[in-house]
Amino acid sequence: MGQRALFLFFAFVSLFGEGSETLATEDKLVSPTPLVVLPVAQGDVQFEEKRDPEADDMEALRRWIRDKRLVTVKEIGGDLSLSGEVRTEFQDTVEIKNGVRQRGEGAATRKPQYAWDNEVNVMIDYRTDRTWAAIKVEFDNDMGVSSGTVNHIRLEKGYCGGRVVPGDTFTLDIELGRRYLFNVFDSQIEFSTIFDGVLFRFNKVWESIGLFYLNLGGLLVDDQTNHYSCVAELGALQIADVGLNIKYSIIDWYKPAANLLMDLRYKFLISQLQISYQYYPKWMGKRLLKFYAAGLTNHLAGGVPQTHNQRQNWAWYAGFSIGLVKKQYDFAINANYQWVQAQAVTDFDASGIGRGNAAGVGFYTNNSNGNPDSGETTAQTAVGNGNYKGFEIEALYALTDNLTVLQNFRTSWTLDHTIGPNLRFKQYEMEFIYAF
Domain boundary among 36, 58, 76: 76
- Tens of pLDDT along the chain (436 residues)? 444 444 444 444 444 444 333 333 334 333 333 333 333 333 333 333 434 444 456 566 666 555 655 556 666 667 889 999 999 999 999 999 999 999 999 999 999 999 999 999 999 999 999 999 999 999 999 999 999 999 999 999 999 999 999 999 999 999 999 999 999 999 999 999 999 999 999 999 998 899 999 999 999 999 999 999 999 999 999 999 899 999 999 999 999 999 999 999 999 999 999 999 999 999 999 999 999 999 999 999 999 999 999 999 999 999 999 999 999 999 999 999 999 999 999 999 999 999 999 999 999 999 999 999 999 999 999 999 999 999 999 999 999 999 999 999 999 999 999 999 999 999 999 999 999 9
Q: Assess whether 66 and 93 both reside in one domain.
A: no
The CA distances from residue 217 to 214, 233, 351, in Å, are: 10, 9, 19
Q: Assess whether 92 and 10 both reside in one domain.
A: no
Q: Assess whether 267 and 206 both reside in one domain.
A: yes
Helix-helix angle 56-69:2-18, to 10 degrees: 10
Stated as kind and residue range, the H or E segment containing 66 is helix 56-69
Q: Assess whether 176 and 232 both reside in one domain.
A: yes
- Say if pTM beats, i.e. exceeds, 0.85: no
Given this model, what pLDDT does residue 17 score?
42
Angle subtended at Cα 167 by Cα 166 and Cα 172, rounded to the nearest 5 degrees: 55
| pLDDT tens, position by position, 217-229 | 999 999 999 999 9
Q: Assess whether 68 and 142 both reside in one domain.
A: no
Q: Assess whether 71 and 134 both reside in one domain.
A: no
Contact (Cβ atoms closer than 8 angstroms) between residue 94 and residue 425: yes
Q: Assess whether 343 and 219 both reside in one domain.
A: yes
Q: Assess whether 93 and 18 both reside in one domain.
A: no
Given this model, what pLDDT does residue 46 score?
37
CATH number at residue 170: 2.40.160.10
Q: How many CB atoms lie within 10 A of CB 387?
A: 26
Beta strands in 114-209 (DSSP E): 114-127, 131-142, 153-166, 170-180, 194-206
| CB neighbour burial string for 333-353, b if at least 16 within 10 angstroms, e if fewer | ebebebbbbbbbbbbbbbbbb
Q: Assess whether 29 and 85 both reside in one domain.
A: no
What's the domain range around 164?
A: 79-435
Q: Assess whether 16 and 139 both reside in one domain.
A: no
Domain boundary among 55, 76, 97: 76
Number of domains in the chain: 2
Q: Looking at residue 22, what DSSP letter applies?
A: G
Domain boundary among 31, 59, 76: 76
Q: Assess whether 33 and 85 both reside in one domain.
A: no
Please tell me whether residue 200 adopts helix, strand or coil conformation.
strand
Given this model, what pLDDT does residue 184 score?
97
| pLDDT tens, position by position, 91-122 | 999 999 999 999 999 999 999 999 999 999 99
Q: Assess whether 188 and 309 both reside in one domain.
A: yes
Contact (Cβ atoms closer than 8 angstroms) between residue 262 and residue 370: yes
